[in-house]
Structures are given as structure tokens and as C-alpha cells.
Structure 1
């Protein structure tokens, strides 16, 4: 019996080695190192801008991007909403969950996990609190990551700083650079907007969009509109003209257009009146002869107002109000025509996705 037990142990060990080798061959360790970050600023539109900027920085640094989950009231694996594989046409990536399960034990064991924070020179690294508050704490906790130490830096996240990054934080000493926040400014740099083409929808999202298109509009054309009209947005726009800024939140998406005649963001662009919204919507309906309207909003869908104002056009107005905003984004991205808010990063997400497909977009208070 003892002989059989020894033989069994040997076979089990060989099988274990085989499994490990299989897993390691599936995920080869990148000698250039890895980088990841918390998508912890704002809601979906902000997170996607930060993700694209972080993707660009990972390529500049030549480290594999550990693709962070998106954040609602919990971590949402990137692959639930988008295809990981399509990102690889641009740069090396691995899903955060796969990295933690398959590679972290070898590359980044618990005793080696160091967090990185940007801090001014006059601030001690003790202020680099990687997991303090929400969503920072829950974000890292749900990935089962604790940090044994922190690094405070004040380097920029651009091509001019890459040599410094590589010199100070080499991959042999820091195999993983885990940043408290995304390594990119907001709003995102215009030069990286095209990266949206690598964010392909998952089959789950596409299937749900197709179901809604069938149920709401019987697969006929529709105009998608995005309305920002909650109280917080109203306050954010109240004094916007006094700033005389061309770069207020996501406003460069329209003010940078060749057709723009605006020198800075106006209140009409940021918080259009109901009359401005109804007039532009009517113009688009008369121009396109599309009578189906899909409304996405953070507060007031204006269904009654639209139906009354456009009664002669016999419009059909639908508003899903999904719990997950990604559904609204996807529905708007696939609309035949879209009208959005120039200052909103939610709209900018939709516009970039539509630009990939050469679909038309207009903006309240900006377009005619």
C-alpha cells in the first residue's frame, strides 16, 4: 500500500507541474513589466476617458496593461462589457482577474505589492493612501490586493517622461506599477480619441442592444438623444461663461471641431433650455425623416414635452432608464443619429464610438 501511495503522489505531482506549465504557457511573463491603475474618478464617461489615456501610457512605457475593471457600485470586469482581444491590436494586455489568478503569484506576490501615487515634492509618502475611501478601498479589495509599501512620484504621464520612468522604476525592481489613479489628464488628450476603435462591445452588450432595438422600434431607424438636466449638472453649468474656458470637462470634443465658431463654453452649450432642445430635435427629425427617439438622461427624459412639441411629426419616444448606464451608451452609439451634450464625458464616450462607424453626431446649443 505504501508503494501505491508513493506512486500516486508522484503522478499527482507530475499532473500539478503539467497544469502550472500549461497556465504559464498561456500567459507568458512580460520581462518589460506590467502597469495597472484604479478607475476611480467619476462615472462611466470619465472612467472610459481615463482608461484610454492609461492604455496609451502603457504603450509608451512598453509595459503590459493589466486591464482594470470598470466601477459601478462594484468592480465590473472589462470583458463583461468589452472584448479584451480587440485591445491587443493596439498593445499587450491581460485582464486583471486573469493576472491576479495566473501570474501575480509568480510576478507580484503579496509581500512585493507596492502602490504608486503622484504627490508634490513637499508631501510625504505617508499621504499616498492607496486604499483610503470609496471607491479606492473597494476597488483594490475586490481584486484581493493589499500594499506593503508605497512610492510617491511627481513624474508626468507623457512621452517626455518615459526615460525617467524606466530609469527610476525598472521592471526588474518594480515588475508591476500599480497607480492610485489613471496616468492621464482629464479631459483626455485629443490625440488618443481614436483608441476608442479598440474598445469593441462584448457579445452580451450587443445582444441586449439588438433586443431593445427590436422591442422598442421593430428594428427601424431611431435618433438617440442624451439629456443632462439633474441639479448637480445645472449647478456645474451655472457660472460656466465666467470661466471663459474652451476645456471645461469634455467640451473639447465639440469646440475642437473645424465647424466650431465658439471661443469658449457657453451656458447654452452646457445646459440648454427645453426650447433649444426641442428646436434642434425637430430640425434633425425634418432633415432625417426619422420619427423614433431614444432618450438617455440622468434626470428628466422630457417625453411629454417632446411628444407635444412634435405631435405633427408623430414621433415615438422611448426611455429605458436602465440600471447600468452602459446600455444607454450602447443604444446611443448604435442610433442612426445622435444629439448629445458637448460638456459631458458620457456624450464624448458615445461620440467616439460613433466616430469609429462614421455615424453623425450633433450637440445641444452648438449644432443647427
Structure 2
């Protein structure tokens, strides 16, 4: 057994000797943002000929002391084979290695004394860049993330895109072997030119087996309800910032950037569910995914159970981020949040596979201001 392990390590070292690795902290937001940034990082890795390190995802506990996060290995959720075998007609070839594998050979490919943190900037003036500091923030999640990976930095260095481009022309041995970025070079929302990289994100077989017994009765409608207080505060300013978060996905559908379409009321949510159950009359179950469990339990779930007594209505207080993501992506019909980057991941994935996508919204501002559920006159909505 020990011999097999040594042979495995030798294989990784032979793979790594001339490779350039890029790794980063997915520290800019919750899961939806992390998945957005991943697409941009894939494009970056391909453009600069890096082997992309598939970093663990971050989970933030809703109520926890400062510094309390947990990490989920990339390969526990997604199939790493999809990077070398992209789907036909979309997707590209990317060189990848999971953090779990790279960590076994880290001392050989990235000695402690050369572990610099890199801050990437778009400035091309090297004199200015040389004066820019690059330091690891002391706050969550940056400090905790690298600590959990058992990585400490000996220093920091600011890099430009021009510098990375110039390294492409150097012999392999003269290039920087590992570039550890302060944060992802991608953006949220991702650029449309980055959507093609979504095809690499296919569920891992073990994860699908784990989720198999949790899939609702088919055919089912999955609804993502993102209405927590943080979103409500942001959406109050949507007229001044119509491109907020992932709202462009709805703007492309000619859905206006008004507050009710950003953080919808129970009336609007119910109206949309009613409309979709009427339009897709083969549906016999509804799965509710939300960041506001008690609101949905009282204002949505209870009413749906009463109105559709012959339907299965699902609301799971113990659901997980990736679990909800999977069940929404697998649904027969998906009704998403206009503004949520979490919904946006599901939308991109479903559109690649020609699955039905709808958004929670009102048809016009008058309906938004009235807030009347057309098919239900209950005063407690």
C-alpha cells in the first residue's frame, strides 16, 4: 500500500514539474458568488496557460463566532473528469488538479520560503505596481481559509496581467510555478463569454447517489425564494443600480428592475407559482428552496398545502446549499430569483441542457404596487 502511495506521489510530481498552478481564495461572497467567480478563473487559467487548482468551497455559518467557516472539497460536489472531457459544442479543455491532490506534493512544487500571496491588478506601470502592497486581510474568510488549508505566506507581491503575459514566453523552468491569488480573477456576475465554462460543472457520481433519495416526486417545480433582510436592503436601491447582483438575467427577459422583482412579496411569489402550475399542468409537486425558512413556511408553504392538497409540497429546514442547488437544477420546471447569483448558477446549467427556466416577477409596476394575489384573497399573505 505504501508503495502505491509513493508511486502516486511520483506521478503527481512528474505532472507538476513544469506546470504553472493558479490557486485562489473564493472569498468574495457566498456560494452563488463563488460559482460565478469560478467561471472567470477558468477563463483566466486557460488564457495564461495555468493548471487551475480546484479549490474548496466556503460555507458560512449563519450564527457563529468570528472565523467560523467550513470547507467543502470541489470533488465532493463536481466531477473533475468533466474538465478533460467537455461536452460537445460547448466547453473547452482545461488543465486542472484538485486541492486535495496538490496538497500532497505542496512542499515540492511550492516551498514554504517562496509562498507569496499575489494581488492581481490591471495597471501596466511596473513602477507603480512595485509600490503597491499585497497583504492577507486579517478578517473572515481570508485568514481562516488559508489557515484551514495549512498554508501561510512568506510575503506578498502585486502582479499585473502584463507580467503574466510576459512569463508565457519564458522557458517553463523560469516561470513562476505557483501563483496564489488573494481572490478570484473572475467577476460576479460572470461575463457572457465565460458562460461556456459552466459545461465543466457536472455533478459528481457519489454526490448524485447521495441526493437520489432526496429528489422530489416527479414531475416537480422547484422555486428559489431569496428574500432575506440583506437582499431587501440591497434591492431598495435597485432603480439606481439596475444591474445589481444577477439581475441582468431578468433584464435580458425584459423584466423591469423594480424592487418587487428584486425581493418579491409573498403575493408575487404565490402568483408566479400559481401561474406556472397552470401553464405546466403536468406538475404534481413543488420544491421550495429558500434563505428565509420561517417566512416561507408560514407565507408560502402553508398556503400551497391548503390550495393544492393533492400535490406534494417540499420545504426542508435541514437542506444544504449544494443539495438545494442540485434539486433546483434537476427540476422539471425551475422558477428562480431574478437577483440571486445562486439562482443564476441553476439558470446557466439548465439553459445549457435546454431545460425550462422562469423567474419570479410581476408583469408591471401597477401589479407590484397593488400586491394582490390574483388566485388567493387571503389577508394573511
TM-score interval, smaller chain: 0.7 to 0.9
Equivalence map 1:43-192=2 (5 Å):
43-72=30-59, 73-89=69-85, 90-102=93-105, 104-118=106-120, 127-130=133-136, 132-155=138-161, 163-164=165-166, 166=168, 172-192=174-194
Q: In structure 1, what is the Cα distance between the partners aligned to 2:141 and 2:49?
A: 28
Q: In structure 2, what is the Cα distance between the partners aligned to 1:333 and 1:192?
A: 19
Q: In structure 1, what is the Cα distance between the partners aligned to 2:333 and 2:53?
A: 35
Q: In structure 1, what is the Cα distance between the partners aligned to 2:164 and 2:273?
A: 46
Q: In structure 1, what is the Cα distance between the partners aligned to 2:55 and 2:173?
A: 19
The Cα offsets for residues 67-99 of structure 1, whole Å up to 9 and x where unpaired, read as 111111222111111112212333110111211
- Select the structure of larger CA radius of gyration: 1
Q: Which residue of 2 is the match for residue 230 of structure 1?
A: 228
User: TM-score of the superposition, structure 1-length normalised?
Assistant: 0.83
Q: Which residue of 2 is the match for residue 4 of structure 1?
A: none
Equivalence map 1:278-317=2 (5 Å):
278-289=270-281, 290-300=283-293, 302-306=296-300, 307-308=302-303, 311-314=306-309, 315-317=311-313
Q: In structure 2, what is the Cα distance between the partners aligned to 1:165 and 1:189?
A: 25
Please say if residues 68 and 96 of structure 1, whose CA atoms lie closer than 8 Å, have aligned partners that are also in contact: yes
Mark the runs of 5 or more structure 2 residues left unpaired by the alignment: 60-68, 86-92, 365-381
Q: In structure 2, what is the Cα distance between the partners aligned to 1:236 and 1:170?
A: 47
Give the stretch that moved more between structures: 121-130 or 334-343.
Answer: 121-130
Shift of 1:169: 12
Q: In structure 1, what is the Cα distance between the partners aligned to 2:175 and 2:320?
A: 40
SS of equivalent to 2:328: helix
SS of equivalent to 2:157: strand
User: TM-score of the superposition, structure 2-length normalised?
Assistant: 0.80
Q: In structure 2, what is the Cα distance between the partners aligned to 1:206 and 1:50?
A: 24
Q: In structure 2, what is the Cα distance between the partners aligned to 1:91 and 1:51?
A: 13
Q: In structure 2, what is the Cα distance between the partners aligned to 1:49 and 1:325?
A: 15
Aligned residues: 338
Q: In structure 1, what is the Cα distance between the partners aligned to 2:239 and 2:113?
A: 51
Q: In structure 2, what is the Cα distance between the partners aligned to 1:347 and 1:155?
A: 31
Q: Does 1:23 align with 2:9?
A: yes
Mark the runs of 5 or more structure 1 residues left unpaired by the alignment: 1-14
Please say if residues 131 and 140 of structure 1, whose CA atoms lie closer than 8 Å, have aligned partners that are also in contact: no
Q: In structure 1, what is the Cα distance between the partners aligned to 2:194 and 2:96?
A: 17
The Cα offsets for residues 8-46 of structure 1, whole Å up to 9 and x where unpaired, read as xxxxxxx97x96455222451252411111101111100
Give the stretch that moved more between structures: 264-273 or 280-289.
Answer: 264-273
SS of equivalent to 2:289: strand
When the two chains are superposed, the root-mean-square deviation of aligned CA atoms in Å is 2.8
Shift of 1:48: 0.6
Please say if residues 205 and 327 of structure 1, whose CA atoms lie closer than 8 Å, have aligned partners that are also in contact: no
Q: 1:295 to 1:163 in 2, by over 3 A?
A: same
More helix by share: 1
Q: Which residue of 1 is the match for residue 209 of structure 2?
A: 207
Q: Which residue of 1 is the match for residue 376 of structure 2?
A: none
Q: 1:171 to 1:180 in 2, by over 3 A?
A: farther
Q: In structure 1, what is the Cα distance between the partners aligned to 2:245 and 2:202?
A: 25
